[in-house]
Amino acid sequence: MIQHFINNKFVPSAEGKSFETLNPTTNKPIDSVASGTAADIDAAVKAARKAFDEGPWPRMSADERGKYLRKIGDLIIKHADEIAETEIEDTGIPSSQIKKGAIPRAADNFYFFAEEAKKLTSEVFPVGDKFMNYTVRRPVGVAGLITPWNTPFMLETWKTAPCLAGGNTCVLKPAEWSPLSADKLARIIQEADIPPGVFNLVHGFGESAGASLVAHPQVQLISFTGETSTGKEIIRNGAGTLKRFSMELGGKSPTIVFNDADFDRALDGATFQVYSLNGERCTAGSRLLLQQGIYDKFVSALEARVKNIRVGDPHEAQTEVGPLIHPEHWQRVRAYMDVARQEGAKIAVGGERPTGMTDGNYFAPTLITGVKNSMRIAQEEVFGPVLVVIPFKDDEEALRIANDIQYGLAAYIWTSNVARGQHIAERIESGLAWVNSHNVRDLRTPFGGSKNSGIGREGGHYSFEFYMEMATVHVALGNHHIPTMGKENKK
């Protein structure tokens, strides 16, 4: 039984409830997990509150906290294989993408923010010889960290590291479909001997554990990654206790390939950017916009590639696409195929369970052509290995199609004319854009979405705009004039 982690101890649910997490290759239970309710959240928040109000963590220097964070990074590397096996079993993400991607990046999140917190500076606003005004940063308080089921370990560390580096304490509520690697994180944090109550973990469902965390009056911050509709509900539910929110939400990002692009690199980029992580990727380039001159050649090359993608057991090194997370999600992705057909689009490749793969949540990598941007299949986030292709004439039309959507998370532009690439990138309504590259992250840069893809930016020093409070101190340096009241009016 996987338990909660409160005040540096593993504990069962107050109400004794539990749920099972399934292996997506078979849909058989892997383990049962404590299911948190308001009582567990309250215990975790109280532990975090006590650690914040009375414990050493918020009062340590960034350097002292950094030592703990680096130790956590080292322990992630030490336990990398074990974490990776757990993550693969729980999520179905292929081994190569977890081992070479998500786990090293999780350790980097701790190493990076350990250093970044030390670089924080204040601003000084001198007013002649009369005043010295300056800013100070301090931790905010207790943070609720709510994460989704895709690449859970990486996303949990992406929130936990800057939150703790900034001196806050936290309660993590991982997704109910992939809770196991969060347990590994708690064990590592326990091994790193971090003070009690600084990091707490409560498992459970969104509507019970998640909602209780959002509504808790002693929580000041909510960092949420998940669906846009959930984000909206969380903002509504947190309004009563006036939370500060960071929202990393859904996407339907365009990959735009111009006639003059390096064909082979664009093909590699377009393919990897949507089918990696089983297509369960917030920054997936899931709308492919192709300029008319290369449309036919690119689509036929893509068809050959997509048919050739190796779907299989995620534990096997050569597997490129594994099973989707959960049977319910499989049904949702499958239902979009009917939506696409009804709208008049053509399923050129895939669109169903791969032949012979009767168990688990396998879904064949899918390519859909004959798509108009107004169709639901082009507008809605499918969150699976599904790519829609839309032709365009020129730069202006590419931009118009790219921006004609509620989302604005990422964009990928492929052209040999870098000036054009930059020009388009700067006019795309997305928080992130890559020119002639797939999604290569630099942790110093701000990450986040515009429009319905999110609010706020995390990454680099931008994370601390969310995870730290800024205050201003005004110091008088001399005897400036103070207006008097009630001094000379005595009759």
Task: Indicate which residues carry an active-site annotation.
Answer: 248, 282
> Going edge to edge, which strands form the sheet with 386-392?
346-349, 366-369, 386-392, 287-291, 254-257, 412-414, 434-435
Binding mask 119-158 for ligand NAD (x = CB under 6 A): ---------------------------xxxxx--------
Rounded to whole angstroms, the Cα distance separating 8 from 196 reads: 5
**What residues contact 67, with CB distance under 8 A and at least 6 apart?**
114
How far is residue 32 from each of residues 6, 15, 146, measured CA to CA in Å? 18, 15, 20
Identify which of residues 171 and 390 has a Cβ nearer to ligand NAD in the complex: 171
Q: What is the DSSP letter of 144?
A: E
Rounded to whole angstroms, the Cα distance separating 307 from 309 reads: 6
User: Applying CB under 6 A, does 160 fall inside the site for ligand NAD?
Assistant: no
User: What is the bridge-based pairing of β-strands 412-414 and 254-257?
Assistant: parallel
Rounded to whole angstroms, the Cα distance separating 44 from 172 reads: 9
User: Applying CB under 6 A, does 274 fall inside the site for ligand NAD?
Assistant: no
Minimum distance from residue 119 beta carbon to ligand NAD (Å): 24
Question: Contact at 8 Å (CB) between 191 and 217?
Answer: no
Tell me how many helices (H) and strands (E) the chain has. Answer: 16, 22
Phi/psi of residue 482, nearest 5 degrees: -115, 120
Rounded to whole angstroms, the Cα distance separating 216 from 45 reads: 8
Minimum distance from residue 234 beta carbon to ligand NAD (Å): 5
Minimum distance from residue 344 beta carbon to ligand NAD (Å): 26
Rounded to whole angstroms, the Cα distance separating 136 from 134 reads: 7
Identify which of residues 44 and 409 has a Cβ nearer to ligand NAD in the complex: 409
User: Applying CB under 6 A, does 211 fall inside the site for ligand NAD?
Assistant: yes
Q: How many residues sit close enough to ligand NAD to count as binding (CB under 6 A)? A: 31
Provide the H-helix boundaries in 176-313.
180-191, 211-215, 228-238, 263-275, 295-308
User: Applying CB under 6 A, does 13 fall inside the site for ligand NAD?
Assistant: no
Binding mask 303-342 for ligand NAD (x = CB under 6 A): ----------------------------------------
User: Applying CB under 6 A, does 21 fall inside the site for ligand NAD?
Assistant: no
User: Applying CB under 6 A, does 87 fall inside the site for ligand NAD?
Assistant: no
Minimum distance from residue 227 beta carbon to ligand NAD (Å): 4
Contacts (CB under 6 A) with ligand NAD, residues 28-47? none
User: Applying CB under 6 A, does 92 fall inside the site for ligand NAD?
Assistant: no
Binding mask 217-256 for ligand NAD (x = CB under 6 A): --------xxx--x--xx-------------xxxx-----
Instruction: Using CB under 6 A, list all residues that contact ligand NAD.
Output: 146-150, 173, 175-176, 205-207, 210-211, 214, 225-227, 230, 233-234, 248-251, 282, 381, 383, 409, 449, 453-454
